[in-house]
Chains A and B, each alone.
Chain A
Amino acid sequence: MKPVTRIHSRTAVLLDENIDTDRIIPARFLTTTERAGLGKFCFNDWRYRQDGSDNPDFPLNKPEAKGCSILVAGRNFGCGSSREHAPWALLDYGIQAVLCSEIADIFRGNALKNGLLAIVLDEAEHRWLLKNPGIELSIDVREQAIELPDGGRIRFQLEPFARHCLLNGVDQLGFLLQHNDAITHYEQIQEKAA
């Protein structure tokens, strides 16, 4: 994973609550054996009309949302399945951060492991961001702060290990493999007990 330290972008807003992983990427696109190239299916059934053309009612298709890499979404984003294809699709589509008052557990874990900032905010701050689409934000991972255009800051919580991995581009599998001796020891104790 490449280090993620700072993301600067205007925001795009999806007001809907409970945007589930089937809406992020419908299951019929999960027959791939690759990680790459899923952006074209991101929000597929919402983003395109029946004839395959862009749906002008989909908020991220609006001209002002083009190029935005910070998504502010309604409460409980990413609920549903464990498919990591959801963060893969969002990243490939150009989203680098999701801001929300609540993010589903499995999606949040998957997102952070791929360098997609899944950030949980207080309800008041979340509500304000939902009402103010298109503002310029700068997300500072080290400081755990979102800088607003007027110089104000929104602080956020980030699990310390996830933050460390984001800042340093740490490979979590490499970290786990360092525990090999402890794992072997654990297995030996279990086998003796059985």
Chain B
Amino acid sequence: MSARTLFEKIWDAHVVAPESADTPAVLYIDLHLVHEVTSPQAFSELRSRGLKLRRPDRTLATLDHSTPTLPAAANGERPYANAEAKAQVAQLEANCREFGVQLYGWDSSDRGIVHVIGPELGATQPGMTIVCGDSHTSTHGAFGALAFGIGTTEVGHVMATQCLLQRKAKTFAIHVDGKLPRGVGAKDLILHIIGEIGVDGGTGYVLEYRGEAIEALSMEERMTVCNMSIEAGARAGLIAPDETTFAWLKGRPRAPQGAAWDAAVQRWRGLRSDDGAKYDREVRIDASQIRPTVTYGTHPGMAIAMDQPVPAARNAVEQRALDYMQAKANQPMQGMAVDVVFIGSCTNSRLSDLREAANVMRGHHVAKGVRMLVVPGSEAVRRDAEEEGLHEVFLAAGAEWRIPGCSMCIAMNGDLAQPGQLVVSTSNRNFEGRQGKGARTVLASPATAAASAIAGAIADPREYLTEVAA
């Protein structure tokens, strides 16, 4: 067989019926993740056709998008944004009961953002196909799984058949050479990559991140990178599994155990692109040249090092973006006044992200007039962080410590910024109004977000790192 890419290996292993000129392939899906926002209409479709959910054992549900991040009142009542949000959550609870799906709901000590808990539970595994009605499903590609977001119609397809109709994507290798400098992390790297290839540079492709700098990343960092593949237009991003992956997964509740684990690892070692495999497109990125990076416009492709001058608008659309952001051409983003800081989201809400932010915050206070929200990605992250005392660092600094959920990343649960406010956010989208109507979003790493909270302006975290290893 000719040399194949990692994507092609996973694709080939999941073809139930091959594609032809007239019809797409029928592709088998190993794991379907479900949340309250994009599933109700799909469950309704099943019900109206009298269909069962084919593989409840391959389906996992959680509550994350519409859920409040403030605790329940003494009477157990949760502070939902509105009655509809409450009804949506109740609908998923009812649907999971009716169709036999395991729900990591309010009563679960494992509840959290869907892309945080899938890996935590060991449900996400190398070589799998994974889908969810959520574009940040690309996160799971960090484990060498082909993982992508789907719409609600397709959610129904997977529920009924455990399959999707798919055309094979093109492949795009992103080689990242060298080492990331101290104080520069995975978020800076992915923002830099999107800045290089553009907000639509990955449209039609599955990305594969590879090279020395990628191999050096922890699993949490790899998830941050793969998470934002969709922000370059790519439905999926992949990293070949290696010892880092296996060590991270071993012993997790849904991971294989005992002899089955050894057999799985044996199989997973073959999940890498063969020497000589051909990609449809390739780029090279030099990690050593990357500095703390932020966005300056209204899509994630408008990203630059924070100390670099904002490029002048080349057209009316770009000028409108700069005007919306109140960003000045030829001036750096560093130093711009900040109103709100948000640390959370499926991009950056894991324990390592909270540690990174706490390392900067320790012994400092949030600047006067700045509101800071820290929202752990899951109950497990919250527990671990509290055990380490990270919440005390944030609380002592004047930040709010919330319960897990998507929160201000998508701002549909009531956590939002006011018109005109500037938010330094560790999330993944800086679209107009994403964090509240008229709110201005600057995407950044947890370290940059923490430094900016202290300074009250976009700030370089390296100025606050004294004894922490890179």
Cα(A93)–Cα(B299), bound, Å: 25
User: With an 8 A cutoff between CB atoms, is A17 at the interface?
Assistant: yes
Given A33-B87, A82-B135, A183-B162, check contact A104 B203 (CB 8 Å).
yes
Count contacts on A: residues with CB < 8 A to the other chain. 52
Residues of B within 8 A of A33 (CB): 40-41, 44, 87-88, 91
Among residues 140 to 164 in chain B, which have CB atoms less than 8 Å away from a CB atom of chain A?
149-154, 156-157, 160-163
Given A16-B320, A20-B299, A79-B199, check contact A172 B26 (CB 8 Å).
no
Count contacts on B: residues with CB < 8 A to the other chain. 68
B87-129 near A? 1/0 per residue, CB < 8 Å: 1100100000000000000000000000000000000000000
Cα(A80)–Cα(B300), bound, Å: 10
16 A-B pairs (CB sep. < 8 Å): A31-B87, A32-B84, A35-B41, A75-B200, A81-B134, A106-B230, A109-B150, A109-B154, A113-B154, A160-B21, A173-B153, A173-B157, A176-B160, A176-B163, A179-B26, A182-B26
A56 to chain B, nearest CB (A): 17
B25 to chain A, nearest CB (A): 10
User: With an 8 A cutoff between CB atoms, is A135 at the interface?
Assistant: no
Q: 7 tightest CB-CB pairs across the interface, nearest first? A: A110-B151, A33-B40, A82-B149, A84-B151, A31-B84, A27-B412, A84-B152
Q: Is the CB of B133 within 8 A of A82?
A: yes
Q: Is the CB of A182 within 8 A of B66?
A: no
Instruction: Tell me which of A16, A26, A114 contacts B437 (CB under 8 A).
Output: A26
Q: Is the CB of A183 within 8 A of B163?
A: yes
Nearest B-chain residue to A28, judged by Cβ:
B412
Instruction: Tell me which of B87, B154, B433 contacts A22 (CB under 8 A).
Output: B433
Q: Is the CB of B151 within 8 A of A109?
A: yes
B172 to chain A, nearest CB (A): 13
User: With an 8 A cutoff between CB atoms, is A177 at the interface?
Assistant: yes
User: Chain B CB within 10 Å — which of A106, A159, A182 has the most?
Assistant: A106
Q: Is the CB of A105 within 8 A of B235?
A: yes
A148 to chain B, nearest CB (A): 26
Q: Is the CB of B431 within 8 A of A80?
A: yes
Given A31-B81, A161-B22, A164-B22, check contact A76 B199 (CB 8 Å).
yes
Given A31-B412, A113-B153, check contact A180 B161 (CB 8 Å).
yes
Main secondary structure on B side of the interface with A: loop
B173 to chain A, nearest CB (A): 19
User: With an 8 A cutoff between CB atoms, is B16 at the interface?
Assistant: yes
B191 to chain A, nearest CB (A): 16
B59-94 near A? 1/0 per residue, CB < 8 Å: 000000110000000000000011011011001000
User: With an 8 A cutoff between CB atoms, is A175 at the interface?
Assistant: yes
Nearest A-chain residue to B298, judged by Cβ:
A18
Q: Is the CB of A179 within 8 A of B85?
A: no
B114 to chain A, nearest CB (A): 12
User: With an 8 A cutoff between CB atoms, is B469 at the interface?
Assistant: no
Given A82-B135, A83-B38, check contact A173 B160 (CB 8 Å).
yes
Given A76-B233, A180-B161, check contact A104 B434 (CB 8 Å).
no
Q: Is the CB of A113 within 8 A of B151?
A: yes
